[in-house]
Amino acid sequence: MSTFFEKRQLVTPGDMLAEGTYVAGENTYKKDDKIYASRLGLVEYKDKMVNVVALKAFYIPKLGDTVIGVIVEVGFNGWTVDIHSPYLAVLRASEVLSRPFRPQENDLSKVLNAGDLVIAKIIAYDRSHDPRLTVGEPGLGKITRGQIVKITPTKIPRVIGRNGSMVSMIKQETGSHIILGQNGLVLITGKTLENEQLAIMAIQKIENESHISGLTDRIAQAIKKEKAKQKEEVKNESKT
């Protein structure tokens, strides 16, 4: 029984991570008692479990996940939603219009049109069916303002941080409201455009550097630096 890498070491697909009675966790697979990486990422050994935290992955729908998506098609009795996943999601008209709707009378494109953004929850999904969404809960529905950043979905937990520490710090420091879609889309709404830019910068920095230690401090510092720069610019503008 042995492991072949340091904790949090960068591994590539096919690297042998452990041999013996280990259990293959995320982004790994087992073959003849050996555990190999199936994605590029950072290896983690927890007890008998071997995981790889992928540096790049795409979103696979999970029941109960909150996602942010774009309406790509208005159909006869519902919408098709791009949730940045291999599968397109379906939002049925009955999920949005509470009374029984009549296709002849209700123009669905007046409720949600192609290009509209929605925050939604996944209520059904399996291997043979595309994911189904609902917007019928508080906090869900059409997005009317703010900006969207797209990051690789495996980084969402890093944006959240331990017990939400990272995201609360960013919210506080940038004065912005942040909604995280598990599919890697993040909605940022701030009082000013500058505030939103700050939060976007912070989130992109997390995406690029999450595999390097001391992340929270670095992000906090980067925000402060950027803030100072923004103030400077405002000053310079008012002078001229």
Partner 1 sequence: MSQKHEKLIDKKGLRLDGRKPEELRSVQIEVGILPNADGSAYIQQGKNKILAGVYGPRELHPKHLALPDRTVLRCRYHMAPFSVQERKSPAPSRREIELSKVIRESLEPSIFLEYYPRTGIDLFIEVLQADGGTRCASITAASLALADAGIPMQDLVAACAAGKIDDIVVLDLMDTEDKIGSADVPVALMPNLNAITLLQMDGILTFEEFEKAVNLALEGCRKIHAMQKEALKTKYVNVKEVEE
Stretch that binds partner 1, among 35-43, 100-108, 113-121, 183-191 (CB under 8 A): 35-43
Degrees to nearest 5, angle at CA 88 with 86 and 90: 150
Among the listed residues 3, 19, 23, 39, the single contact to partner 1 using CB under 8 A: 39
Residues near 71 by beta carbon (within 8 Å), at least 6 away in sequence: 79, 80, 81, 91, 112, 113, 114, 115, 116, 117, 118
Is residue 36 within the footprint of partner 1 (CB under 8 A)?
yes
CA 166 – CA 116 distance, rounded (Å): 29
Among the listed residues 3, 4, 16, 101, the single contact to partner 1 using CB under 8 A: 16
Instruction: Quote the DSSP letter at residue 31.
Output: E
Residues 131-190 binding partner 1 (CB under 8 A) are 152
Tell me whether residue 68 or residue 195 sits nearer to partner 1 (CB atom).
Answer: 68
Tell me whether residue 127 or residue 162 sits nearer to partner 1 (CB atom).
Answer: 127
Can you give the binding site for partner 1, defined by CB under 8 A?
Answer: 10, 12-16, 27, 29, 31, 36, 38-40, 54-58, 60, 86-88, 127-128, 152, 208-209, 211-212, 218
